[in-house]
Amino acid sequence: MEAARRSLDPERLLPGEDLASNDPADVARWVTIYRELKETKQTLADDLAAALETASQAARAELESVDMVLISVQLDRFERRFTYWSDRERELSTMAGREK
């Protein structure tokens, strides 16, 4: 139950994630991690949507009202974090270019 609660926290950071990091390698690592997470979660959402087409009415109602909602919330968080880290990567790259 704790895992379900944590998965819905839109501000939850992954272990070791530091939003203030100025280390380009660390930032690039988080871009990669969140790209993987959002792509995987999108695949799950697509697969579930396909399964809904042949599911019984009762199963579809449950899957749409619970599973799709959870996946959507998680996907949204992963997309926001991916955007954050991608923007941070560009920002650090720009700053490094100015220092030369």
> What is the pTM for the complete model shown?
0.88
The distance from CA 54 to its chain's CA centroid, rounded to whole angstroms, is 28
For residue 90, tell me if it sits in a domain: yes
**pLDDT digits (tens), the chain, 100 positions:** 788 788 888 899 999 999 999 999 999 999 999 999 999 999 999 999 999 999 999 999 999 999 999 999 999 999 999 999 999 999 999 987 776 5
- Nearest-angstrom CA–CA distance, 34 and 30: 6
For residue 2, tell me if it sits in a domain: no
The CA-to-CA distance between both ends of the chain, in Å, stands at 51
Query: Domain limits at 93?
Result: 25-99
Number of structural domains (the chain) is 1
